[in-house]
């Protein structure tokens, strides 16, 4: 990449906006995924009894089962949220930057 | 000429396969199943179909870009399916459903660990890989760093990961095929090795991708049917499914919560770290992001892949419980019913369940799918290993980038054949070993060497060549070393006394990842060489390309 291209992109206001938005967004989502997963793992390690509690009195299904399914669904949901926003907002910003500098 | 050769090999292979099947009939070893005719028919159908695709792909594989990345023209949806096909190994289908069958809830804990790496890949490395790399993840790691040391390091990390994973797959393949098709172990291993060499050398990434897509669809359809039949059996009531399973299972209601898989919090976190960040450091997975045209398609790939893999893990959970109901109660599936010994061992509940819900024909289908699964995974692994040899070691380290494409592709094909033969030899060597730990070891190495180098090269401006080189190797050696002196290898495999292992944790990722990251950091900040200044100065331009994709290769349409 040419040095003048680097400074052109770097000083583009939309570029700063893109970096700020995407960095915050991807770290927040990573943090959410890690809290959900490691929260679940710590429950497994520290409070097995909680996970073995029935979801309703008389039910055989324990809290652990819907909780595990929720962890799986949340992984899918979070990738969906990121893809949707990145393919929309972030790609729009990128396109505008590219149009301006090229 | 090449097409003629391929046809020749194809015919020979099909002929030898039928000879081999004929020979398998009268080999009455205790462990082996009787020959399953419908399984063999469906397997031959799959093999001839995929060889047909390889023939088609071979005509479209002309350049290095075609060979390594299928020309970069795979769509996000196709790539998502192929990633799922690459990732849902026989170990996860048979292993997790077997774990659910044996311990219930613990199987779910394991499968969740295998899934949660995907969102992290999407948020942190997927589009960055697409924007910075060409064929291998070493392209990204060495983008602004010294080519020779970083590519050598990344190639070592890739090859170690690939070989460990490959051994586990080959041994699994041999044992499974021996059971399902009544073939000799070594014949099964050779068959897998030869087919995989054919797919990869002739069809490159395009054939590998389609083998993975077809396998993913077959596996998802098969598993869906099994889960549906299980739920139909209990009138579509989970309450009924679990009630019956608890009544039948010898551990009773213990199967409804966490058991012995995770004992202490440190091991739990360490296991999780290894699975989560190991996924983000597997070279055959990372390579898949170069097959799509741009960042948008790279993101879509992960979204679809996460959906398919998550859905598949939910199915395996239902399948495991279904096997408790329908397999554990039927003496026909046991070699010793009283002692609870399943025919074929602890990984077989899903296979027996296929028979219980769909008879011989469906058993044949699932057996063929299990074999297809192994073929798809080993092909992806071999292609990633061959790329590390030809693109990183040969073209960029040995020849310093001064090499023409045709020569690089020739080396790549030779590397594929060499890796295939090596995999066959290792597969036969390790027949009697317990190789289950090797998959986890591959993940640990990927998380401790490949991932830190890749991650820091993308995000940390002060990373230097020295830091990445020394730190990457420290991560690699720590991961290997701690597994060897840990209980799994020291006590279970090498046979030293229980409790004698110098390192008492089964899952060392938390230590080896820390060692990798800290030493990369330390050897970078203390680096004041001229090279280090160049490395740091290169970050800005790299970051702009990484963030916007300006300068990244466009797609070539097929």
Residue B170 near residue B188, CB atoms below 8 Å: no
Q: What is the pLDDT of residues B87-139, one digit of tens each?
A: 998 778 888 899 999 999 999 998 999 999 999 999 999 999 999 988 999 99
Provide the pLDDT for residue B15.
41
Going by C-alpha positions, the residue among B176, B181, B170, B193 that lies closest to residue B23 is B181
Residue A4, SS3 per DSSP: helix
Going by C-alpha positions, the residue among B210, B124, B254 that lies closest to residue B546 is B124
Residue B274 near residue B440, CB atoms below 8 Å: yes
Domains contained in chain B, CATH given: 2-60+73-436 (1.20.1730.10)
* B557: confidence class by pLDDT, cuts 50, 70, 90: very low
Closest residue in B to A36 (Cα) is B116
User: Own/partner pairs for A52-58, CB < 8 Å, 24+ apart?
Assistant: A52/B253, A52/B256, A52/B257, A52/B258
Q: What is the pLDDT of residues B181-214, one digit of tens each?
A: 778 899 989 999 999 999 999 999 999 999 999 9
pLDDT over 90 (residue B354): yes
List all residues of chain B from 232 to 261 with a beta carbon under 8 Å from chain A: 238-239, 242-243, 246, 253, 256-258
Q: Which of A9, A30, A41 sits opposite B550 (nearest CB)?
A: A9
Provide the pLDDT for residue A4.
81
B115 touches chain A (CB under 8 A): yes
Residues 6+ apart with CB under 8 A from B68: B134, B135, B136, B204, B205, B287, B290, B383, B387, B391, B412
Q: What span, in angstroms and rounded, lies between the C-alpha atoms of B78 and B531? A: 41
Q: Which of A19, A78, A98 sits opposite B550 (nearest CB)?
A: A98
Q: Retrieve residue B318's tokens.
A: 């239902």
Provide the pLDDT for residue B555.
40
B548 with A102: Cβ contact below 8 A: no
Q: What span, in angstroms and rounded, lies between the C-alpha atoms of B84 and B107? A: 19
Partners of A37 in beta bridges: none
List all residues of chain B from 287 to 346 with a beta carbon under 8 Å from chain A: 295-296, 299-300, 302-303, 306-307, 310, 313-314
A101 with B253: Cβ contact below 8 A: no
Q: Which of B243, B257, B307 sits opposite A64 (nearest CB)?
A: B257
Residue B277 near residue B121, CB atoms below 8 Å: no
Going by C-alpha positions, the residue among B201, B195, B210 that lies closest to residue B53 is B210
* Gyration radius of chain B over CA positions: 23
B112 with A83: Cβ contact below 8 A: no
Residues 6+ apart with CB under 8 A from B360: B36, B38
Q: Which residue is it, tokens 């001839």?
A: B48
Q: What is the pLDDT of residues B35-73, one digit of tens each?
A: 677 878 888 898 999 999 999 999 999 888 999 999 999
List all residues of chain B from 495 to 554 with a beta carbon under 8 Å from chain A: 540-541, 544-545, 547-551
* B388: confidence class by pLDDT, cuts 50, 70, 90: very high
Alpha-carbon distance B539 to nearest alpha carbon in chain A (angstroms): 11
Q: Retrieve residue B425's tokens.
A: 């030899």
Torsion of CA B343, B346, B348, B352, to 10 degrees: 60
Task: Choose between B27 and B359: higher pLDDT.
Answer: B359
- The average pLDDT across B326-347 equals 88
A52-83 b/e (C-beta count within 10 Å ≥ 16 → b) = beeeeeeebbbbbbebbbebbebbbbbbbebb
pLDDT over 70 (residue A83): yes
- The average pLDDT across A84-101 equals 93
% of chain B beyond a pLDDT of 90: 66
What DSSP character marks residue B331?
G
* A1: confidence class by pLDDT, cuts 50, 70, 90: low
* B558: confidence class by pLDDT, cuts 50, 70, 90: very low
B253 with A60: Cβ contact below 8 A: yes
CA B191 to chain centre: 19
């Amino acid at each position: 990449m040419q040095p003048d291209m680097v400074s052109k992109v770097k000083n583009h206001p939309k570029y700063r906006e893109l970096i700020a938005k995407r960095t915050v967004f991807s770290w927040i989502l990573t943090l959410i995924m890690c809290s959900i997963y490691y929260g679940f793992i710590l429950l497994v390690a520290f409070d097995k009894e909680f996970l073995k509690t029935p979801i309703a009195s008389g039910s055989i299904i324990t809290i652990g089962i819907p909780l595990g399914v929720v962890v799986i669904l949340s992984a899918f949901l979070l990738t969906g949220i990121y893809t949707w926003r990145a393919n929309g907002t972030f790609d729009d910003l990128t396109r505008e930057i590219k149009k301006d500098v090229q | 000429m090449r097409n003629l050769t391929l046809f020749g090999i194809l015919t020979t292979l099909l002929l030898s396969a039928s000879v081999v099947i004929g020979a398998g009939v009268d080999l009455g070893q205790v462990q082996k199943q009787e020959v399953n005719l419908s399984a063999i028919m469906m397997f031959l159908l799959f093999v001839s179909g995929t060889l047909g695709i390889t023939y088609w792909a071979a005509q479209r594989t002309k350049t290095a870009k075609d060979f390594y990345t299928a020309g970069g023209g795979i769509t996000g949806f196709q790539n998502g399916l192929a990633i799922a096909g690459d990732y849902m190994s026989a170990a996860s289908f048979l292993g997790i459903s077997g774990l659910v069958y044996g311990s219930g809830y613990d199987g779910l804990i394991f499968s969740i660990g295998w899934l949660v790496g995907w969102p992290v890949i999407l948020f942190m490395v997927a589009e960055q890989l697409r924007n910075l790399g060409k064929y291998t993840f070493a392209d990204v790691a060495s983008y602004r760093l010294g080519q020779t040391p970083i590519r050598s390091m990344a190639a070592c990390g890739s090859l170690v990961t690939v070989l460990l994973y490959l051994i586990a797959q080959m041994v699994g393949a041999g044992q499974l095929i021996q059971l399902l098709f009544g073939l000799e172990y070594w014949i099964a291993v050779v068959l897998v090795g030869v087919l995989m060499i054919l797919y990869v050398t002739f069809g490159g990434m395009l054939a590998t991708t389609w083998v993975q897509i077809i396998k993913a669809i077959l596996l998802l359809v098969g598993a869906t049917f099994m889960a549906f039949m299980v739920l139909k059996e209990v009138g579509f009531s989970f309450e009924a499914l679990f009630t019956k399973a608890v009544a039948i299972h010898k551990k009773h209601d213990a199967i409804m919560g966490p058991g012995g898989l995770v004992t202490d919090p440190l091991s739990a976190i360490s296991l999780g770290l290894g699975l989560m960040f190991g996924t983000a450091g597997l070279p055959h997975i990372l390579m898949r992001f170069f097959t799509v045209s741009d960042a948008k398609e790279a993101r879509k790939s992960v979204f679809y892949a996460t959906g398919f893999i998550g859905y598949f893990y939910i199915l395996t959970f239902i399948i495991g419980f279904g096997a408790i109901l329908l397999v554990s109660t039927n003496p026909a599936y046991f070699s010793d019913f009283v002692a609870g010994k399943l025919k074929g061992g602890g990984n077989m509940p899903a296979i027996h369940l296929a028979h219980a819900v769909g008879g011989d024909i469906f058993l044949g289908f699932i057996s063929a799918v299990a074999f297809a699964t192994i073929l798809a995974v080993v092909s992806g692994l071999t292609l990633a290993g061959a790329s590390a040899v030809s693109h990183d070691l040969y073209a960029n380290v040995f020849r310093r980038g001064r090499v023409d494409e045709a020569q690089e592709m020739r080396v790549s094909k030779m590397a594929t054949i060499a890796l295939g033969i090596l995999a066959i030899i290792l597969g036969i060597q390790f027949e009697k070993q317990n190789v289950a730990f090797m998959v986890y070891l591959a993940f640990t190495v990927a998380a401790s060497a490949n991932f830190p180098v890749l991650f820091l090269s993308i995000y940390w401006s002060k990373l230097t060549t020295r830091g990445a080189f020394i730190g990457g190797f420290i991560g690699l050696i720590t991961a290997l070393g701690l597994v060897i002196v840990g209980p799994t290898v020291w006590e279970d495999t090498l046979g030293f006394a229980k409790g004698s292992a110098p390192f008492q944790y089964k899952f060392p990722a938390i230590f080896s990842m820390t060692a990798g990251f800290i030493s990369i950091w330390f050897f970078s900040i203390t680096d004041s060489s001229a090279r280090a200044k160049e490395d740091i100065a290169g970050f800005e331009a790299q970051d702009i390309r990484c963030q916007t994709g300006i300068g990244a290769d466009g797609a070539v349409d097929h």
